Structure 1
């Protein structure tokens, strides 16, 4: 009786091993959990997931989860398997089976592996988490990953029908060539029939000519199909991605999301050409097999034997190929990361004089990449050599055996040559099908990552939501608390606050006090975990978010500019914004004079990341961008730090004039002290609130903050 195996789920990046192990355990118990669900429950840090968080995740999914530290190998026999173990002090794997000789693990990076006892004891990091389905465990039906994409093909049935018919005809032409060769030998050369020789030439020209034309037409149809799939898949993915809540992006890395976007092209290739080709190849393989059986059952058996050996080699080495390929990907990612951060941080590299240290670090990483590349290529070379040798031996053996049959009058020479040609096709097709199966398996990994994005719900938008057109700027927080994931601590807690239209409110506090979370809540980028936020008396949950954000300007501390002209960066894709409005906003932001000194003025292109202008200019362009729409509410995160006291006052006067509600996060005293309300935050709560004068009289946190920077204030005053 076969023991049930743990289904393998491959990781797409190093930090996903914990999630992959949890997904494998869940699928083993005939259920399923999406990566999106796991992200939402516990998040996934930059450095991966801790065992503590995995335990919370397992309990949330209905498991009775327990963590142990195992000292002796024999203790593993007592554990309910499968379970998750900590491996090589940096990785999670699933322990599937334990015996006196060793163990079977399912590694998210490389697949199922048998490990000898000595090797296991060396790499096992002693920590274990068992997962036993509890009373709250609910089995969920698995959704097909491929079905939604295959359904896209149903939208253009004519393309699929044409592609299948053209491919089928091409395969018939391919089959026709060996038959023509048989005809040439048996009916033309052997009886020395010169009249039929010319007919053979015409037939060859006809077959090759039509094969050429059909190949051209099939290629064009395939290009149209691939373009259609690209358009449908990319449009759906990017549109969905853009409408996801901001919270989604905080839990995932930028590079990871780019990886998922790029994965769509691989999925497209798999569906558009490989899948259809694979199905047709299987059909042709069956036809060729029948043809070979009719010609010679004995020769067919010899071809099948060599085909089986070749397929076994490819399947047996698949996990090792994946392992070395993964090593190369990891090493390549590390090299690219060093190169990217070096180029982006070249200013710091030069000013610190650490060129040699950076080069040494890069060289060490690059050596690892070269080693991984050599390892992968050596393995591929070995596999290809074995496969090539089998591929060369098979037709030669067929000729030898066929020669024996001819000498015994059991086969004609024409039949042997035709069989030899078509058996080569059979061998090549079978190899292609095995490789397609491997590609299908790998592509499923990428498909899971893409589905993680598509499974995430977009920002709520229902018919009874109110679209705000003329926001006054009144904001009220009622007992608002927020946490990023279910098991993370509250970032802000029990916030009660009212901001009146036109008020200037300053938020101060140490790093990690909750200021950034407060600004995101104000912008409607986060929905409160508890409590309510009201804009002009309307609950945030009942407001159409896009209409709200269009009336809120924001200038973040880390400004992002696009690789477009200054005009386009300020107008930010709004065709209704005129050059006059852009110039007016630039003048208020005190950047107009700088722009006019540039060669192309407002048509000057800003380079990637805005490196061709100063940090102060970037900040003021972002301020102009926020002002050009004349917002009702403006959120400024150290946004006027590049302005001197006089220019900062000009901006402040303008905002007072248009009665714009301002929420300012700043440490600069001149920015804070004239605020109508100053909010002092510490550890996610408001500890003080009032005007500058009121807070100074309290002699609390703000007062000490003021005294710390008072010398700077006096210097500015002088």
Structure 2
């Protein structure tokens, strides 16, 4: 049955909730709660609400959102409601949508539901569409006794100003270049007045030569100063872009793996690009606009000296421009965030599609990929059109008001000239001043649009920059230098990927002595790879402790861990460069002897030697010019090149034949390093000192191969399966 407006209901006027767009699909619940909190006067950063709502790679649930809302002083209850009952509800409320999404309902009308979607912004959903997508679950939220208004919305200018730390010398230089340009600009109306009153009106051509020469000098000076200003701005833009990009990248490299688990690599790379666009706005629009405002004040002062009556006309035109600009600001703020989000999704999808092009072609998925990318492209284009179309109309307003103001000035000024209240030269000079006074208003309209788009860029950049990084490790001299002996211990470790679900590992313990070889086996999802990630520090435990040589991990300096610990996992990463670059991972201090020794132990030396250039032979991006087995062996050689005392192998030899696998195994044993092996192929771990069988994050069995086979338990079942 087609849904219509609920009969017999009086619809309340929809409330207007501040829009907070989600950065990733999994955080819609946190973004929806942020909107409701801001509506009631509590401004909480989205990154803080991610933690409060327990957002994980699987998202969050209604219970977590309710707990978070109560923690901020809201009275929060969950309920089931029919769509017809929403007309009488107290808004705003959070609704569960499509069984996989949270959004804010601002109100109802005869046309449908008025929603504010963290994924796309404010929109109207017709009743029939709402009937198909509304799940009946709502979260009623309103201020409780403990609710406190606090915080303030993020300010674009404040945020941009914070990025100028260390660059104020460049700002002053740009302002100086612009200030120098004011001199010839101010000379133009003065020269116009003198030429009209001293040459044209009295018909005195003998005065024309000097005035025209002075005017030519001012024009030449203006052109040279404009070129100098442009050069200064370009240099400042390059410097600011480099500073922002380096700061972004430095912070991104320190972030934990949990950050990247919820975001696509393409999106993070796109955010790095956004820093350059923000720098462009600051250097080319924001700083020059400050000078334009100062110039407009000088023009206003000159106009007041010439004619206060005509000045009122110019001021009235400026007020109209400002009112129109303010009216359009709210629309652009919402729309610009949607544009950035859609373009980010387009970049991420395109990157992933090209990164996995071999799989796409092998599965015949070219048409599917094309449809997906073009779909995102269309959505991004539509979002940009919605942003730019109103701006096209708005940007015409300053030009129109400037023309009308000029006509009015000439008309009223002509009357003043006829009454001898103004000279003709003063009127001509005033007309030039009006154009100069209103021109900054047009610049401010363009700047307003650029700042609104920059707000969307800043939100995505700050999402990364405000993400907490692990505490810095102790100084390198706090503990003995060199390498770890190789003892690994996990003490009562509990860990999971989602706070909303039971932990994957619960009170897990493991003790590996120096030089010991331990294997982790079990079915898919049993926690083998998770243990490897915990040992290597890619993820941090919820509780418990991880220690090396009896010292907790967080007390060990990073250089010591990097020199002692190496991981080879299932995902092979080879980049465009030489074979040596890929084995040494661009470490120029690593001697060639260490690179060759690692390649020999990884059984890849012979393959490299027969290639033209040997270790200088090129490696294509992703290692496309090497076979799967060769790629895996280069990855193993990279791990061995640092001569680790602790080596973690997570399905590291899955692409190798048994003979090659045996050669590598023998070479690793000769190095006498502690080895933790995660394996599905059980033939590779028969001679391990200990085999640990995991089942749903718990130790089901442990012992040697022979002992476990005699027991006839879970391990024996895996071997005989």
Q: TM-score range by the shorter chain?
A: 0.7 to 0.9
- The match for 1:259 among 266, 270, 281 is 270
CA distance in 1 between partners of 2:371 and 2:114 (Å): 39
- The residue that corresponds to 1:301 in the other structure is 312
CA distance in 1 between partners of 2:377 and 2:241 (Å): 34
Q: TM-score, normalised by structure 2?
A: 0.86
- The match for 2:679 among 662, 666, 690 is 666
Task: Note closer, same or farther for the CA distance 1:350–1:144 as it changes in structure 2 (3 Å cut).
Answer: closer
Query: Do the aligned partners of 1:40 and 1:485 also contact (CA within 8 Å) in 2?
Result: no
Q: CA deviation at 1:634?
A: 0.7
Q: Aligned runs of 1:338-357 on 2, under 5 Å?
A: 339-356=350-367
CA distance in 2 between partners of 1:593 and 1:329 (Å): 49
Deviates more, 1:363-372 or 1:202-211: 363-372
- The residue that corresponds to 1:191 in the other structure is 202
- The match for 2:254 among 243, 261, 269 is 243
- The match for 1:575 among 563, 588, 599 is 588
CA distance in 2 between partners of 1:258 and 1:282 (Å): 36
Q: CA deviation at 1:307?
A: 3.6
Q: Aligned runs of 1:213-228 on 2, under 5 Å?
A: 213-228=224-239
CA distance in 1 between partners of 2:210 and 2:684 (Å): 94
- The residue that corresponds to 2:6 in the other structure is none
CA distance in 2 between partners of 1:643 and 1:117 (Å): 59
Q: CA deviation at 1:53?
A: 4.1
Task: Note closer, same or farther for the CA distance 1:539–1:153 as it changes in structure 2 (3 Å cut).
Answer: closer
- The residue that corresponds to 2:629 in the other structure is 616
Q: Aligned runs of 1:19-168 on 2, under 5 Å?
A: 19-42=30-53, 44=55, 49-71=60-82, 75=86, 77-79=88-90, 81-86=91-96, 92-95=102-105, 108=118, 126-133=136-143, 141=151, 150=161, 153=164, 155=166, 157-168=168-179
Q: CA deviation at 1:82?
A: 4.2
- The match for 2:649 among 617, 632, 636 is 636
SS at match of 2:434: helix
Task: Note closer, same or farther for the CA distance 1:529–1:338 as it changes in structure 2 (3 Å cut).
Answer: closer
- The match for 1:645 among 643, 646, 658 is 658
- The residue that corresponds to 1:704 in the other structure is 717
- The match for 2:521 among 497, 505, 508 is 508
Q: CA deviation at 1:691?
A: 1.4
Task: Note closer, same or farther for the CA distance 1:138–1:467 as it changes in structure 2 (3 Å cut).
Answer: farther
CA distance in 2 between partners of 1:259 and 1:54 (Å): 30
Task: Note closer, same or farther for the CA distance 1:112–1:425 as it changes in structure 2 (3 Å cut).
Answer: farther
Note the residue ranges of structure 2 that are not aligned, 5 or more in a row.
Answer: 1-13
Q: CA deviation at 1:586?
A: 0.8
SS at match of 1:66: strand
Q: CA deviation at 1:635?
A: 0.6
Query: Do the aligned partners of 1:102 and 1:116 also contact (CA within 8 Å) in 2?
Result: yes
CA distance in 2 between partners of 1:122 and 1:316 (Å): 35
Task: Note closer, same or farther for the CA distance 1:109–1:441 as it changes in structure 2 (3 Å cut).
Answer: farther
Q: CA deviation at 1:357?
A: 5.1
- The residue that corresponds to 1:655 in the other structure is 668
SS at match of 2:519: strand
- The match for 2:618 among 579, 584, 605 is 605
Task: Note closer, same or farther for the CA distance 1:571–1:229 as it changes in structure 2 (3 Å cut).
Answer: same
Q: CA deviation at 1:490?
A: 0.9
- 1:443-477 Cα offsets, whole Å, 9 max, x none, are 33433433333333332235486466332211122
Query: Do the aligned partners of 2:266 and 2:351 also contact (CA within 8 Å) in 1?
Result: no
Note the residue ranges of structure 1 that are not aligned, 5 or more in a row.
Answer: 709-718
Query: Do the aligned partners of 2:596 and 2:605 also contact (CA within 8 Å) in 1?
Result: yes
- The residue that corresponds to 1:425 in the other structure is 436
Q: CA deviation at 1:233?
A: 3.0
Deviates more, 1:99-108 or 1:414-423: 99-108
Q: Aligned runs of 1:377-456 on 2, under 5 Å?
A: 379-384=390-395, 388-456=399-467
Query: What RMSD over aligned residues (CA atoms) do the two structures have, in Å?
Result: 3.7
- The match for 1:285 among 287, 293, 296 is 296
Q: CA deviation at 1:480?
A: 1.0
CA distance in 2 between partners of 1:95 and 1:537 (Å): 54
SS at match of 1:472: coil
Q: CA deviation at 1:375?
A: 5.8
SS at match of 1:550: helix
CA distance in 2 between partners of 1:30 and 1:331 (Å): 28
- 1:214-252 Cα offsets, whole Å, 9 max, x none, are 333333433443344334433333222222333333343
Give the length in aligned residue pairs. 705
CA distance in 1 between partners of 2:343 and 2:45 (Å): 28
SS at match of 1:662: strand
Say yes or no: does 1:200 pair with 2:211. Answer: yes
Say yes or no: does 1:553 pair with 2:566. Answer: yes
CA distance in 1 between partners of 2:87 and 2:605 (Å): 71
- The residue that corresponds to 2:538 in the other structure is 525
SS at match of 2:539: coil
CA distance in 1 between partners of 2:198 and 2:715 (Å): 104
CA distance in 2 between partners of 1:232 and 1:491 (Å): 41
Deviates more, 1:420-429 or 1:225-234: 225-234
